[in-house]
A and B are shown apart, each in its own frame.
Chain A
Amino acid sequence: MRSKWIRQTALGLGLVSLFSLPVTAQPLYTSVDDDDEEEEEADSEEDSPEWFAVVGADIHDGRGGVLRGASLLAKDGKIEEIGYDLVLPEETEVLDASGYRVYPGLVAVKSSGLFGGSTDLEDSVDPFNQDMVLALAAGITTAEQSNQAAKLKRGEIEGLVMNPKTSSSISFRSSDPKGKRTQRERFAAAAAYLRAYRQWEEDVKKDKELKEPSKSGIDSTALAVLRAEVLPWFSADERHDLLEIARLAQEYGFRPVIEGCGEGWTVADELGRAGAYAVVTPRYRRARSENLVRAGGSSIENAAKLHAAGVQVAIQPASTGVSLGGIVGRDIMHLTIEAGFAIRGGLSEQAAFEAITIVPARLLGVAHRVGTLEVGKDCDLVVTDGDIMHYQTFVQWAVVDGKEVYDKADELFFAHIRPRPESSIAPESKVDPGEEVVEEIEEVKESAD
């Protein structure tokens, strides 16, 4: 019964491990106090919770920890327990992943086309979109599209958007000095407003008649950035642009996100001090400017050097969509491969994995829900047949909100490549030829037997 869905109905399988008694069962992490548990139980009697468990797998929690042959239990899509000898409630949907590995679902810091539809994801998503299936096959369970962070929930249109506004794009480049000055003025005005506002907050306690400082003329984006309500998203590769962004960020006290960051390795210290996030593409190549003496151009060590300097590095591939031609191999289906090139440049495997999970999750403002496997977070995970960073590894199952959304054996794309031992790779069976044809086929089969 290796790696097969088993619907647990009887008490007989209530215990995952038969070697220990339920009394001694000690989950490694627990989320709730006893009191809370009682309350929750009272609640759950009304609408029975949905339980889901992955058992027997090597669980990589995404923070560096590995539990060999452990189990993960989720309740209503949230991780309830991770550990050994978990007591599974009846009716738990169990995924027996013995011999497989479990990782947190990958997070794509930018994507296009995965959700189909247009800018209003909630009302236009196509949850049967083929690109979504392919992205799940690549291990991605959360992605940004149209400045919204959303889950790859298949067949459902509800509850997929986690953050309706992930970032504010800010243009700040040396090719547009006027624009740069405008941006500076905006931040200066917003900072002045904030100072006035804080002063007013103090003064109003003494004199209730005092008027709130006027917001007119204050750029709302700059204000939101300074209030840390939204991350400012810059796009820059050149060393002096990167330095200017770092200085701007330090001057006004915000954390910049810098997409590209091609020459970041030459100014990694400055970027680290500015608390920057870098969104890099390790296979990105740019030539060094020949008329400058200083170091420049792209470097395979970019991600590693940035990380070493304290920059939070997220990795994105050259194409943010699913490309089945042209740029194939450098599209969003190859996020782990792209991260592999950062490892080649000296980034640790753990940091490279974080660059496609928890760091993008932080960038998208959803790190409290996804990016690692922790009690209380969403049960968004992938089950693989090997090290997720290895090029030969396949995602066997993907789970979002405690529900299976991808099974390699059930989809047309990869079912036939190194099929799972028990998988009946017959995509034909998905196609409905009509009753009579089915009967005919069966007759032929019988006569062949």
Chain B
Amino acid sequence: MHFSPWTILGSLALALPAGAAPLTGGGPVVLRASSAETVANGTLEHAVILVEDGVITAVGEDLPVERGIPIIDLPPGWVVMPGLINPYSRVAMDGKGKSDSRPQAQASVELYASHDDYQDLLEAGFTTLGQYPAGTGIPGQAVALNLGPDGPSVALDPAYLKIVLNASSSSKRMLRDGFEEVDEYLEKEAKNREKWDKEQEKKKKSKKKDDDDEKDDKKDDDEKEEDKKKDSEPDVYVPLVPDPEVQVFMHLRDGTLSALVSIDNAAEYLHLVDAIGEEEFAWGLRVPLTRDINLYEVTDKIGERGLRVVVEPSLTLHPGTMRQRNLSSELARAGAKLCFIPRFDSVSGHEDLLLHAAEIVAAGLERGAALRALTLEPAELLGLGEGRGSIEEGKRADLIFLDGDPFEVGTKVRAVMLDGEFVTGEVPQ
């Protein structure tokens, strides 16, 4: 589902107004900015970024530029940073889910690729989007999308398994049962294998016997014919095929899939840990920061595990009071990895994400943690951390250009570069 560069160019020729930044056409191009938020290596002043074939190949301060490479000089005060990534959205999707366990369900089959919202998100600075299946219980697998001018394309499917846990025995059992079914399958499979092995042994023995008999007796030709037929069957063991929902839990166990568990309060975190028990798999948390949530009771425990936590950049109230708490900051300081998602899962919510993140930074969250929460951590959550989420050599040139500090009120996303191509906005030359 990837586009060829030519289709992008074609559409861009129409989309970009005159006076926009030159199209690079896939050749090398250098970006020079007075400031770049690399996310991985802090803020660079007088940053020089070399982009070749849609990939960042060099980053540094005041790097010399080879003659002949086109240079795009950003206006003074502009900042370049990695494209925003929302790992947890249902924008442009509709429908309600169910409340049972259907881990094999996929969000990717319910996408409306031609929905206008994707273009609006791109213009708001989002370059990658994670979309999750609706419902409670175990609603299914999320998909990671590349946003592009021609609509979204699949970056990774599945990206993670969404699980909704609440404090009840049925909900906890749902999670336990998932892994128990894997155990049952493995046991069945082992027995099947054993049985097959024994049959093979028998066959070998009978064959040997036949060979011995052959020397003495050559009468029963018909029988031999049959035996030969049996022997000619390929001696390759075919394992039992697990049910699709069992497969999903097997992937959780072998580490090829991670889980994002949605909880609503501190108690549910304890119940989640209790339900997981000895089971080992990669999991993160989604916690809606509601008005007076008591998550502070378990921030230390979440931090100890270094969990990735998906939250809105919102201040909450200490229960029973009107005193504000900055749970994002508390989580980050305890050692958790934050992922920020818009307060409202709508286009305007996405447009406000930077502003709301700025509020949290103003209220005490460390700047670096906030930047990571908008880019690298969501990329990691989606399983795309190797190729995007920061300005580093070897990563995709998914960049956004801001006309000021990202956490300054009034800063706007002025242009977006995807895979080394400007897809929206303009850079005045």
Contacts and interface: CB of A to CB of B under 8 A. Distances in A.
B265 interface: yes
A325 interface: no
Contacts of B364: 432-438
B270 interface: yes
Interface in A185-221: none
Contacts of B326: 432-434
23 contacts: A116-B167, A116-B267, A118-B168, A124-B168, A125-B267, A129-B267, A155-B270, A157-B271, A412-B318, A412-B321, A427-B321, A428-B323, A431-B323, A431-B325, A432-B296, A432-B325, A432-B364, A433-B324, A433-B326, A433-B363, A435-B329, A435-B364, A438-B364
A126 B296 contact: no
Interface string B157-194: 00000000001110010000000000000000000000
Interface residues of A, number: 29
Given A123-B167, A123-B172, A437-B363, A130 B266 contact: no
Contacts of B294: 128
A433 to B, nearest CB: 6
B169 A123 contact: yes
Contacts of A435: 329, 364, 366
A434 B329 contact: yes
A32 B324 CA distance: 52
A158 interface: yes
B319 A431 contact: no
A130 B271 contact: no
B324 A431 contact: yes
Contacts of A156: 270
B274 interface: yes
A90 interface: no
Contacts of B327: 432
A347 to B, nearest CB: 36
A241 to B, nearest CB: 37
Nearest to A123: B169
Interface string B325-351: 111011000000000000000000000
B172 A157 contact: no
A126 B324 CA distance: 23
A127 B267 contact: yes
Contacts of A126: 167, 265, 267
Contacts of A157: 267, 270-271, 274
A432 B366 CA distance: 14
A437 B325 CA distance: 12
Interface string A136-177: 000000000000000000011110000000000000000000
A434 B326 CA distance: 7
A139 B15 CA distance: 71
A431 B329 CA distance: 12
A125 B271 CA distance: 9
B330 A432 contact: yes
Contacts of B363: 433-434, 437
A40 interface: no
Contacts of B296: 432
Interface string B344-373: 000000000000000000011110000000
Could you say which of A428, A430, A431 has the most chain B C-beta atoms within 10 Å of its C-beta?
A: A431
B298 to A, nearest CB: 8
Interface in B239-276: 265-267, 270-271, 274
B270 A434 contact: no
Nearest to A413: B320
Contacts of B265: 126, 128
Contacts of A427: 321, 323
A117 interface: yes
A129 B324 CA distance: 19
